[in-house]
């Protein structure tokens, strides 16, 4: 079992059109589902994001325009595909991400990656997207039909792997989450990515809850916790030389911790502690093979690092649907579709 891979190249419009053509059937079905209820309201809310796209990332508007033209639908439908997470039209994922500096690894290599835990339906929709823009860095990332954003790496070795957070005070006039992911993957260094997000947050235009684990080929790495109207940046403990993040805050900022939703942080703390324990046991010896074994770990089932049929009350069961280990200096990523305890990893280059 391997992810379907789509390669797009050219201008933003040309890449969007090619992506729309390649996923026409899946996108059409998704749009029918999204617009089956209150379509005018959803499309009106979607178009409110246009000004933010124009200010921070106009290329994504052109990609949305290309997708819409490929499907022969209005531009607003193409933009809806980029903003559905921010309209609560897509399920939140619960993931475990990491980044390892040279001091923690065998032969001084840099690694980053994650297990992405979502529903089986979401797993089947996932696509490995290889973007080769006429201007800007090449990117290799996991995407969904119609949305050209997700966890992955660019040609400079800048990696993004993310986690949902819960409880922060959501503020309006926020950039959509896919734009945040792409802003990171446009940068040349992890520090530049961190500074870009902090700047957008300072402008008042990041208002969702989520963590970005960011790493680059030089071993610079951060967890950037965006918690509604608050933000915190965490660097590795020098003694550890790595970062681990699940779905709970690790920055320990009192004003953030006091409003974090505790019901959503029970099993995630277990995953954070378990991965930290395994990394410390193998400190100085971590490589792609040992990291894959960590990502297959089952302690705490069903809510383990490698999740099987984990389900909160009132929510659909979730599984580890994507696992990956990135090697920023080498410019390649090991991707596994489904639970890594059951399926192989395949190597892909940016």
Q: Which residues does 153 contact at the CB level (< 8 Å), separation at least 6?
A: 139, 140, 141, 159, 160, 185, 326, 328, 331, 333, 350
Q: State how far the Cα of 95 lies from the Cα of 210, in Å rounded to an integer.
A: 11
Which pair of tokens denotes residue 179? 């734009």
pLDDT in tens, 10-64: 999 999 999 999 999 999 999 999 999 999 999 999 999 999 999 999 999 999 9
Pairing verdict, β 242-245 and 159-164: unpaired
How do residues 285-334 score in pLDDT, each as one tens digit? 999 999 999 999 999 888 899 998 766 656 677 889 999 999 999 999 99
pLDDT value at 253 more than 90 = yes
Per-residue model confidence as pLDDT tens digits over 278-296: 999 999 999 999 999 999 9
Neighbours of 212 (CB within 10 A): 26
**Could you give the CA distance from residue 133 to residue 145 in angstroms, rounded to a whole number?**
18
User: Cis ω on the peptide bond leading into residue 302 (within 30° of 0)?
Assistant: yes
Predicted local confidence at residue 88, as pLDDT:
67
Ranges of CATH 3.60.60.10 domains, the chain: 96-127+146-349
210 within 8 A of 162, measured Cβ to Cβ: yes
**The dihedral sign for the CA sequence 260, 262, 268, 274:** positive
- % the chain with pLDDT above 90: 83
Q: pLDDT (tens digit, 9 = 90+) per residue, 191-208? A: 999 999 999 999 999 988
Section 154-182 average pLDDT: 92
Question: What are the beta bridge partners of residue 211?
Answer: 163, 225
**How many CB atoms are closer than 10 A to CB 307?**
26
Confidence of residue 266 (pLDDT cuts 50, 70, 90): low
Q: Quick check: pTM over 0.85?
A: yes
Residue 83 has pLDDT above 70, yes or no: yes
Residue 108 pLDDT > 50, yes or no?
Answer: yes
Number of other residues whose CB lies within 10 A of the CB of residue 255: 10
In order of 161, 212, 244, the CA distances from 194 in angstroms are 13, 9, 17
Asked whether 159 and 128 are in contact (CB, 8 A), the reply is no
Instruction: Name 210's Cβ contacts closer than 8 Å, sequence gap at least 6.
Output: 162, 163, 164, 165, 177, 180, 226
Residue 315: the pLDDT is 65
Q: Which of these ranges, 86-90, 187-191, 236-240, has the smallest mean pLDDT? A: 86-90
Spatial distance between the Cα atoms of 292 and 218, rounded to a whole number of angstroms: 22
Proportion of the chain in helix, strand, coil states, percent, rounded to 5 = 35, 25, 35
Structurally, at CATH architecture level, domain 96-127+146-349 sits in: 4-Layer Sandwich (3.60)
Q: How confident is the model at residue 171 (pLDDT cuts 50, 70, 90)?
A: confident
Structure confidence at residue 265 (pLDDT): 46
Q: Is the pLDDT of residue 169 over 90?
A: no
């Amino acid at each position: 079992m391997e992810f379907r891979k789509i390669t797009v190249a050219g201008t933003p419009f040309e890449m969007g059109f090619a992506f729309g053509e390649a996923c026409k059937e899946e996108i059409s079905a998704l749009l029918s589902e999204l617009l089956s209820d209150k379509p005018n309201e959803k499309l009106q809310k979607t178009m409110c994001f246009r000004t933010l796209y124009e200010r921070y990332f106009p290329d994504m508007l052109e990609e949305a325009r290309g997708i819409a033209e490929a499907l022969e639908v209005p531009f607003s439908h193409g933009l809806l595909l980029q903003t559905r997470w921010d309209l609560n039209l897509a399920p939140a994922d619960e993931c475990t991400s990491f980044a390892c500096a040279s001091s923690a690894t065998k032969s001084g290599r840099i690694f980053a990656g994650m297990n992405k835990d979502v529903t089986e339906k979401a797993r089947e929709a996932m696509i490995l997207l290889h973007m080769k823009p006429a201007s800007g860095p090449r990117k290799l990332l996991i995407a969904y039909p119609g949305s050209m954003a997700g966890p992955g790496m660019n040609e400079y070795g800048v990696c993004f792997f993310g986690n949902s957070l819960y409880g922060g005070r959501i503020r309006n006039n926020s950039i959509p989450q896919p734009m945040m992911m792409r802003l990171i993957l446009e940068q040349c260094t992890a520090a530049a990515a961190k500074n870009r997000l902090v700047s957008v947050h300072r402008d008042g235009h990041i208002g969702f809850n989520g963590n970005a684990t960011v790493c680059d080929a030089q071993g610079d790495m951060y967890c950037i916790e965006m918690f509604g109207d608050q933000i915190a940046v965490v660097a590795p403990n020098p003694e550890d030389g790595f970062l681990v993040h699940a779905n709970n805050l690790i920055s320990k900022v009192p004003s953030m911790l006091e409003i974090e939703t505790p019901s959503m942080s029970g099993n995630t703390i277990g995953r954070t502690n378990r991965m930290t324990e395994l990394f410390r046991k193998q400190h100085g010896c971590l490589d792609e093979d040992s990291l894959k074994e960590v990502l297959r770990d089952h302690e705490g089932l069903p809510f383990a690092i490698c999740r099987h049929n984990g389900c909160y009350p009132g929510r659909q069961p979730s599984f580890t649907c994507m696992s990956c280990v990135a090697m920023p200096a080498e410019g390649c990523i090991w991707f596994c579709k489904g639970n890594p305890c059951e399926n192989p990893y395949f190597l892909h280059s940016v």
